[in-house]
Structure formats: C-alpha cells, structure tokens
Amino acid sequence: MIETRNVTKRYGDTLVVDDVTLRLPVGGITSIIGPNGAGKSTLLSMVSRVLPMSSGTVLVDGLDVRTTPGDVLARRLAILRQDNHLTSRLTVRELVTFGRYPHSKGRPTVQDREHVERAIHHMGLDALAERFLDELSGGQRQRAFVAMVLCQDTDYVLLDEPLNGLDLKHSVAMMKQLRTAVDTLRKSIVMVLHDLNFASCYSDHLIAMRDGKVTFQGRPEDIMRPEVLRAVYDLDISIQRIDGDWIATHYR
C-alpha cells in the first residue's frame, strides 16, 4: 500500500501541496482529478521520489521512499511523467527494455526479453518495435513509454496524464489496456487525469484535489456529483447516468 503522511511541498512561500495524508487503495485504478495548479502532479512526483518533499513521509509497502535504496523501490513502483525528452536515438524495443533495468541491471535475460515482448504486444506496438522514437507520433511515443513502465513489472504504477496527446481512439485504447493490466496482472495504477469522464468510467477510486489539499475521495458515484464537482472546479457540472457510467457535461 502507498501511504502519504503530512506530505508538503513548498516553493518559497507558495504551498503547492499542503499537508496531504492519504492511503491509496491497493489494486485497481485510482485517478487524481482537480483544476490546474492543484498539486496533483507534484504529489505524484513526491510519492515516486522524483521530487524531494519539503516535509512529510511517503511509505510504499512500509518502505520510506526517502531512505529506501532506489533500486529496491524501482522494483515496486514505477512512474511516468509528462514530458520525456531523450538525447539519444532509441528504438521502441530498446526503450521498453530499459524497463527491465531494475531487475537485470542492464543485462537482460531470456525472461526479461519475454517481459519486453509482452509489454510491446500489450500496448499494440508490435509493428513499431524497431522504429526510432523520434520517428513516431506523440501518441505512439506515449504508448512506448507506458509499455516501458509496465515492463518494469511493479505492483504500483504512477502515470502523470497518460492520455496527454492521444486522440479519442488511442485514449480509449490506452485506458482499456491499463484496465486489462489492473484486472489481469493485479496492479495498482494511480494517475493524474484531466478528462473527468475517462476518470469516471475507468477508475475504481477518485481523489479530488484543490489548492494543494485533497478535498474529496471515494468511488466515482460519490465524486461525480454536481455539488462535489462544483466545490472542486468552481463550475456548474451536470451529471448524467449513461449506460451505467456517470458522465459529466460541462461544455456550456
């Protein structure tokens, strides 16, 4: 289980994440929603030790992320942030193979290769495996990075806006692939999402943040309510029940 205790991030006098204490549920998809500047990505970065916190503690399966050796954590928790630019030319397969580094330390075994092929296949990248990343579209590249973190084969996967730059078709495909990963491989995925309806339809658990604080959390039907979303977004959002999903309409 991932647990945060009084996690705070301060830049000068500005509080970006304000004393967040959370227990993230094990298994399933947890989505963090909220307006821009709510501290969602910052929280995710601190949980994954990429960004040092100003104060507080994050425990992953009881391991303090600040003191636990990086390679131990790398076998339990994987993170994908938004913009990943590379200085070298890598093929999709080479990139995905890096996902095995925490296990093989750069000398992939036969099992590692199988993991790589499975992840490539899972993300529908078979035809692109030998292509260089800079020859791919933004969406294809995004899928390659997701394949890499899935290949890392950790219990917890943190994704910062995985749908960024994906069109409708690929967004749906991505969410379905993540759902499959959760259901068949029993992973816990925590992600920051901007699209309320994707969050609502695919998540088991929603966390709403505003001004650095967690304001609401619960099942989608608990969060997808006009009064709750009004408090989070300052916007009148009506909720429709369509085919068993809670859908927000906020376009007018």
DSSP string, the chain: -EEEEEEEEEETTEEEEEEEEEEEPSSEEEEEE--TTSSHHHHHHHHTTSS--SEEEEEETTEETTTS-HHHHHTTEEEE-S----SS--BHHHHHHHTTHHHHTT---HHHHHHHHHHHHHTT-GGGTTSBGGGS-HHHHHHHHHHHHHHT--SEEEEE-TTTT--HHHHHHHHHHHHHHHHHH--EEEEE-S-HHHHHHH-SEEEEEETTEEEEEE-HHHH-SHHHHHHHHSS--EEEEETTEEEEE---
- Could you say whether residue 73 binds another protein (CB under 8 A)? yes
32/73 with CB nearer another protein: 73
Binding residue for another protein (CB under 8 A) from 98, 179, 215, 218?
A: 98
Q: Which stretch, 100-108, 111-119, 189-197, 207-215, contacts another protein (CB under 8 A)?
A: 100-108
- CA distances 106 to 5, 40, 85, 143, 233, Å, are 34, 32, 21, 22, 45
Q: How far is Cα 241 from Cα 35, in angstroms, rounded to an integer?
A: 23
- Could you say whether residue 66 binds another protein (CB under 8 A)? no
Q: What is the CB-side half-sphere exposure of residue 56 using CA atoms within 13 A?
A: 24
Q: Hey, which residues between 105 and 124 contact another protein (CB under 8 A)?
A: 105-107
CB of residue 135 vs another protein: minimum separation in angstroms? 9
- Could you say whether residue 79 binds another protein (CB under 8 A)? yes
- Could you say whether residue 203 binds another protein (CB under 8 A)? no
Question: Taking CB under 8 A as the rule, which mask of x and - marks residues 8-37 in contact with another protein?
Answer: ------------------------------
Binding residue for another protein (CB under 8 A) from 12, 67, 85, 251?
A: 85
Binding residue for another protein (CB under 8 A) from 18, 19, 94, 204?
A: 94
Q: Hey, which residues between 135 and 154 contact another protein (CB under 8 A)?
A: 149, 152
Binding residue for another protein (CB under 8 A) from 40, 49, 187, 210?
A: 49
Q: Hey, which residues between 152 and 181 contact another protein (CB under 8 A)?
A: 152
5/103 with CB nearer another protein: 103
CB of residue 250 vs another protein: minimum separation in angstroms? 32
Binding residue for another protein (CB under 8 A) from 7, 24, 74, 206?
A: 74
Q: Which residues bind another protein (CB under 8 A)?
A: 45, 48-52, 69-75, 78-81, 84-90, 94-95, 98-99, 101-102, 105-107, 149, 152
